[in-house]
Structure 1
Amino acid sequence: MDKLPDALLYVNGEMRTAGDNQYFDNINPWTGASCGRAADATAADVEEAIVAARNAFDNTDWSTNHDQRYALVCKFVDVMVTNREKLVQISRLEVGSAIGAAARAQIDGALNGAKDLLECYKQVKWEKDLGIKHEGGFDTKRIVTQEAMGVVGAITPWNVPLYVNVGKVVAALLAGCTVILKPAPDTPLMGSIMGELAIEAGLPAGVFNVITSADPAMAGEMLTTDRRVDLISFTGSTAVGKLIMKNGAESLKRVFLELGGKSAFIVLEDAPNFAQTCMGSMVVFHAGQGCAYPTRLLVPKSRYDEAVGALDMAYKGFAEKWGKFDEPTCIMGPVISKKQQNRVMEYIEIGKNEGARLLAGGNARTDMGGGFFVEPTCFVDCTNDMRIAREEIFGPVLVVIPFEDEEDAIRIANDSDYGLGGAVFGPTDRALAMTKRIRAGALSVNGGTSITGDLPFGGYKQSGMGREWGLEGIEEFLEIKAIGIRAS
Structure 2
Amino acid sequence: MSRTTDRLLLLDGRLTPGAGGGAFETIDPATEEVLGTAADGTPEDMDRAIGAARRAFDETSWSSDTAFRVRCLRQLREAMRRRSEELREITIREVGAPRFLTFGGQLDAPVDDLGWFAELAESYEWERDLGRAEPMGMPTRRRIRREAAGVVGAITPWNFPHQINLAKLGPALAAGNTVVLKPAPDTPWCAAVLGEIIAEETDIPPGVVNIVTSSDHALGAQLVEDPRVDLVTFTGSTATGRTVMASAAATLKRVFLELGGKSAFIVLDDADLKAACSYAAFSGIAHAGQGCAITTRILVPRDRYDEAVEITARSLSRLGAGDPSDDRTICGPVISARQRDRIEGYLRLAVEEGGSFACGGGRPEGRDKGFWIEPTLITGLTNDARTAREEIFGPVLVIMPHDGDDDAVRIANDSPYGLSGAVHGSADRARAVAARLRTGTVSVNGGVWYSADVPFGGYKQSGIGREMGVAGFEEYLETKAIAEITT
TM-score by length of 1: 0.97
Tell me the distance in 1 between the aligned counterparts of 2:254 and 2:154: 12
Say if 2:450 is the partner of 1:468.
no
Residue 392 of structure 2: aligned partner: 393
Write the letter of the residue equivalent to 2:202: A
1:299 equivalent in structure 2: 300
Aligned to 1:239: 239
Distance 1:366 1:16 in 2: 43
Pairs within 5 Å for 1:295-334: 295-319=296-320, 322-334=321-333
Query: How far off its partner does 1:326 sit?
Result: 3.9
Structure 2 length as normaliser, TM-score? 0.97
For residues 183-262 of structure 1, the aligned pairs below 5 Å read 183-199=183-199, 200-216=201-217, 218-262=218-262
Paired-residue identity, %? 46
Question: Residues of 2 paired with 1:297 and 1:4: CA distance?
Answer: 45
1:376-430 Cα shifts (integer Å, max 9, x gaps): 0011222100111100000000000110010101100100000001111111111
How many residues are paired up?
A: 484
Contact 1:334 1:372 in 2 (8 A): yes
Within 2, Cα distance between the matches of 1:32 and 1:405?
A: 46
Give secondary structure in 2 for the equivalent of 1:256.
strand
The aligned counterpart of 1:349 is 348
For the residue of structure 1 that corresponds to 2:442, the secondary structure is strand
| Helix, strand or coil at the partner of 1:234 | strand
Shift of 1:331: 2.0
Partner of 1:483: 482
Superimposed CA distance per residue, residues 117-172 of structure 1 (whole angstroms, 9 cap, x where no aligned partner):
23333442200111111222221101000000000000000000010000001110
Q: Helix, strand or coil: the match of 1:106?
A: coil
- Residue in 1 that maps onto 2:456: 457
Counterparts in 2 of 1:361-380, with a 5 A limit? 361-365=360-364, 367-380=366-379
Question: What displacement does 1:325 show?
Answer: 4.1
Code of the aligned partner of 1:435: A
CA distance in 2, matches of 1:3, 1:431: 51
AA aligned opposite 2:485: R
Q: What whole-Å deviation, never above 9, does each CA across 1:8-49 have from its counterpart, x for those lacking one?
A: 100000111011111111111011231110111111111110
Poorly superposed stretches of 4+, deviation over 6 Å: none
Structure 1 position 327, deviation (Å): 1.8
* Closer/same/farther in 2, CA of residues 381 and 115 from structure 1, 3 Å limit: farther
**Contact 2:2–2:36 (8 Å) recurs in 1:** no
Q: CA–CA distance in 2 between the matches of 1:203 and 1:326?
A: 33
**Are the equivalent residues in 1 in contact too, given 2:319–2:331 (CA < 8 A)?**
no
- Secondary structure, aligned partner of 1:264: strand
Distance in 1, Cα, partners of 2:395 & 2:121: 36
- CA distance in structure 1 between the partners assigned to 2:192 and 2:23 by the alignment: 13
Is the deviation greater in 174-183 or in 192-201?
A: 192-201
Equivalent residue number for residue 406 of structure 2: 407
For 1:249, give the aligned amino acid.
Answer: A
Change (3 A) 1:477 1:441: same
* Contact 2:77/2:112, CA 8 A, preserved across alignment: no
The question of whether the paired residues in 2 share the 8 Å contact of 1:356 and 1:380 is answered with yes
Number of the residue aligned with 1:157: 157
The one-letter code of the counterpart of 1:42 is T
- Deviation, structure 1 residue 285: 0.6
Asked whether the equivalents of residues 120 and 470 of structure 1 are also in contact (C-alpha less than 8 Å), the reply is no
* Residues 423, 443 of structure 1: 8 Å contact kept: yes
In structure 2, the residue corresponding to 1:442 is in which secondary structure? coil
CA distance in 1, matches of 2:354, 2:156: 36
Deviation per residue, 1:257-293 (Å, 9 max, x gap): 000000010010001x221211111122100000000
Task: State how far apart, in whole Å, the 1-side matches of 2:182 and 2:4 are.
Answer: 19
- TM-superposed CA distance for 1:302, in Å, is 2.2
Matched to 1:405, the amino acid is: G
1:126 aligns with 2:138: no
In structure 1, how many angstroms separate the alpha carbons of the residues matched to 2:4 and 2:442? 37
Deviation, structure 1 residue 227: 0.3
Counterparts in 2 of 1:4 and 1:100: CA distance versus 1, 3 Å: farther
Q: How far did residue 102 of structure 1 move? A: 2.7
**CA–CA separation in structure 2 for the residues paired with 1:121 and 1:303:** 51
Q: Which residue pairs with 2:7 in the alignment?
A: 7
SS at match of 1:250: helix
Distance, in Å, in 1 between the alignment partners of 2:131 and 2:425 is: 48
Equivalent-residue separation in structure 1 for 2:325 and 2:178 (angstroms): 39
What code does the residue aligned with 1:444 have? S
Q: Is the 8 A contact 2:66 2:121 kept in 1?
A: no
The Cα of 1:214 is off from its aligned counterpart by 0.7
CA distance in 2, matches of 1:62, 1:269: 55
SS in 1 for 2:6: coil
Partner of 1:432: 431
SS of 2:63's equivalent in the other structure is coil
Give the secondary-structure state (helix, strand or coil) at the position aligned to 1:474. helix
Map Cα deviations across residues 331-353 of structure 1 (whole Å, 9 max, x no partner): 22100000000011100111111
Quick one: distance in 1 between partners of 2:222 and 2:323? 40
**1:358 and 1:380 in contact (8 A); partners too:** yes
| CA deviation map 1:65-90 (0-9, x unaligned) | 11111111111111111111111111
Contact 1:121–1:471 (8 Å) recurs in 2: no
Q: List gaps (5 residues or longer) in structure 1.
A: none
In structure 2, the gaps of 5 or more residues are none
Moved more, 411-420 or 276-285: 276-285
Displacement of 1:2: 5.5
